[in-house]
Amino acid sequence: LCFRHGRRGTLDLENGNSSQKNQQTTGTPGGFSITNQDCTTKVLLAFGKEDFQSDAFWLACEKLGYECNLARTRDSVLEAFQTKSHEIVIIDTRNPKVIDGESLCRALRALKTSQYTVVVGVVRKGTSEKEDSSIEPMLNMGFNRVIMETSGLVQCMNELLQLYLSDVQPRLQLATAQAMHIALDKCSDVVHITDQNLNIQYMNRSSERFLGFSMKDVAGKSLLETNSVDNKELMVQQLQRGREWEGLISWRRKMGDSVVLSGRVIPVCSPGRSPTHYIFIHESQHMMLDKRMSGTLVKNPELPKGSNNRKGSADMKSISSDGLRRQSIAKLHNLSIEAPITKVIALITSVQDNANIEDIQTLDKVVDILRTTELYSPQLKDDKGKAGDPVTNDLIGALLSSGPSVTPIARRSSSDSGSVSKIGLSRSTFKTANMSHQMKELLDTSLLWDFDIFRLEELSVKRPLVYLGMNLMDHFDVCSSLGCEENVLHNWLVVIEENYNAKNTYHTSTHAADVMQATAGFLERERLKQILDPLDEAVCLIAAAAHDVDHPGKSSAFLCNSNHELSILYNDLCVLESHHSALAFKLTISDDRVNIFKSLERDVYKAVRQNVIDMILATEMTKHFEHLAKFVNVFSIKKEDDSPDVRMLFF
């Protein structure tokens, strides 16, 4: 790239960029007044040497506010174009010995980024006067326009304006249309575009997958011939007037059945003219609900009296959305770490884009199986053709089970008094007794994200877990969920806090209280309230309080390398986390005065115990990204259909 002289404005060395651009209004000879747009048009001049023509185009670009670059060699032209992707490239074809304009044009057209670039060739004045002269060979090479050399500034400005208005702008609109076409193919909504007579001109891939028809099957056919609309005359009347219409349309599928979708139709028309196209849009949530209504949606069975159905966690497997799947996987791909199962699901999802409806349903089942956490656990085949021996089946089932089965928990309610031990649940006065005014004010902010845990450590004389624990567990009504008295919960917190090593620099009861406070902050999020029930919330707080109890101040790797007794006891597997959970339950069931689980039914206790253990074991950092991948692959896909993003669970 060349160095331009100061007479053409302040220019950058090596790249020939003009600094006189992006002005609001530029006055020019001949009465021109051009207002620049937000995106500056970029012009590349490919001239082997400076002359009157290159100077004229350079000054014209300055006057019009265009960004101009000048390159003198073939390689520098290609390098500059690949760097900035100019909208206009002007090539000097007058002297092939200095720069071969024809080969340069072919080289530019060979680049993928030149699809929407306008390439102009400059020829000598006498060329057009020859009888055998024709611009057809140059147009066939890839030139969009051929202009004769001129030294007039106004003429060069006119040429640039014509190039921009008649060539550059239509190409930019074409590029935008192509981007919209790609976006429509990737979106999960059902989209059809028709002409003014409602003949189908376009349908996106979601429509092809959902209805089973390909674009070839429906191209040019009337949308109303095969599909029915309530009050069709009113819809057509509104659309012809340029008004948007909303309503129900019954769509016929290739399999022979029909499905009713709620959507809207948008007319597309220029101001003052009749509509030329109509866009039919049906949101994906209606599509996916209707698509899976035949068998995938699971209705909740009748629950016994006094049971509370989970608000979301047990029902996440009922609805799967292709759109949500792609969004969640795309977010996971943005991470620098990716699990193999994520790659597998991503590959399957990409295959579904071009599959027919039967294959899509089969692949959906494959993905559902891959999302389970027990991929290699053997299961008995459900062979309806064979009755089988029930005793044998029970024995084999017991051998195959990896542990105690956790059945859906029958929640207690106030109407089911027979399932709860008769324990008085009167509130103690711990919340207000033995507390300073400063302590009460601080605990009033216990659910705020910027809660000062170190201030609490100071006010509580290094007993923050008891004070904060009672405050938070009272807020979430943990005593009612567990069926225990408040003094038992208080005793449990005291025992747990006493078993934290105060000599540690980090893993102290202050750290446990800090984690519990953060957990409570997440539990207060509206999205989690819709998913978790009170017993789930209690389990989260209990696990947070006990997750580092009796931490020795050394890592699991250190204990394993030093042959510590804990590493020997737990076979070098999740040493500290196993110790924390085991000791927490050992301390809890050792005395009825601290046993907060005493009143739970056996099945409920099993589920609570398993959840607490799982949450504590999940704090091992070596398993963090494995849990993250499972979370994205399972829960973000299986959430309620009104949840657009997995992160919405927390924010």
The pairing of strands 145-148 and 118-123 is: parallel
* In CATH, 432-649 is 1.10.1300.10: yes
Query: pLDDT over 90 for what percent of the chain?
Result: 37
441 CA to centre of own chain:
40
pLDDT confidence band for 302 (50 / 70 / 90): very low
**49, 77, 322 from 71: Cα distances, Å:** 9, 5, 49
Rounded CA separation 206/154 (Å): 52
What value does the mean pLDDT take over residues 453-476?
A: 94
Pick from 261, 154, 162: which is nearest to 206 by CA?
Answer: 261
Phi, psi of 616 (to 5 degrees): -70, -45
Q: Which residues are catalytic?
A: 507
Task: Say whether pLDDT at 543 is over 50.
Answer: yes
Helix H or strand E encompassing 46: strand 42-46
- Segment 206-226 shows an average pLDDT of 87
| pLDDT exceeds cutoff 80 at 249 | yes
Alpha-carbon torsion (550, 552, 554, 560), positive or negative: negative
Q: How far apart are CA 267 and CA 238, in angstroms?
A: 9
> Which segment, 129-143, 312-326, 625-639, is predicted with the most confidence on average?
129-143
Cβ pair 94, 124 in contact under 8 A: yes
Count how many Cα atoms sit within 13 Å of the Cα of residue 630 in the half-sphere of its side chain.
10
Q: Which residues of 218-256 are buried (b: 16+ CB within 10 A; e: fewer)?
A: beeeebbeebebeeeeebbebbeeeeebeeebebbeeee
For residue 651, pLDDT beyond 50:
no
As a CATH number, domain 42-182 is 3.40.50.2300
580 is in an annotated binding site: no
Fold of 188-282: Beta-Lactamase (3.30.450)
| pLDDT tens digits, one per residue of 378-426 | 666 655 555 556 776 666 666 555 554 444 444 443 334 333 333 333 3
Tens of pLDDT, residues 611-642 = 999 999 999 988 877 777 777 766 554 444 44
Q: Which residue has the tokens 């085991």?
A: 582
What's the whole-model pTM score? Answer: 0.44
Neighbours of 110 (CB within 10 A): 10
Encode pLDDT of 587-618 as tens digits. 999 999 999 999 999 999 999 999 999 999 99
What's residue 386's pLDDT? 54
3 state SS for 434-479: CCCHHHHHHHCCCCCCCCCHHHHHHHCCCCHHHHHHHHHHHHCCHH
How confident is the model at residue 566, as a pLDDT? Answer: 95
Do 188-282 and 42-182 have the same topology in CATH? Answer: no
Cβ contact 378:400 at 8 Å: yes
548 annotated as ligand-binding: yes
User: What SS3 state is found at 343?
Assistant: helix
Binning pLDDT at 50, 70 and 90, where does residue 7 land? very low
| pLDDT, position 615 | 94
List pLDDT tens digits, range 12-49: 323 444 434 343 333 433 333 333 445 788 999 999 88
**Domain range summary for the chain, segments of one domain joined by +:** 42-182, 188-282, 432-649
Question: How would you list the strands of the sheet with 245-252, edge to edge?
Answer: 200-203, 190-195, 277-282, 258-268, 245-252, 228-229
Specify the residue for token string 């106030």.
414
DSSP per residue, 68-132 = EEEE-SHHHHHHHHHHH--SEEEEE-S-TTT--HHHHHHHHHTSGGGTT-EEEEEE-GGGGGSTT
pLDDT, mean of residues 257-267: 85
Q: Which of 372, 373, 378 is nearest to 397 (CA)?
A: 378
Q: Annotated binding residue at 437?
A: no
Q: Are 535 and 605 in contact (CB under 8 A)?
A: no
The tokens for 460 are 């509580």
In the numeric block, which tokens belong to residue 52?
């009157």
Task: Give 549's pLDDT tier (boundaries 50, 70, 90).
Answer: very high
pLDDT in tens, 501-533: 999 999 999 999 999 999 999 999 988 888 899
Q: Are 69 and 45 in contact (CB under 8 A)?
A: yes
Mean pLDDT over 51-57 rounds to 90
pLDDT in tens, 146-199: 998 888 899 999 999 999 998 888 888 888 888 888 888 888 888 999 998 899
Burial (CB count <10 Å: 0-12, 13-18, 19+), residue 81: buried
Q: Are 146 and 120 in contact (CB under 8 A)?
A: yes
Give me the amino acid identity at 429: T
Which of the two residues, 603 and 306, has the higher pLDDT score? 603
Contacts for 198 with CB less than 8 Å, ≥ 6 apart: 222, 223, 224, 236, 278
Question: What is the rounded distance in angstroms from the CA atom of residue 385 to the CA atom of residue 374?
Answer: 26
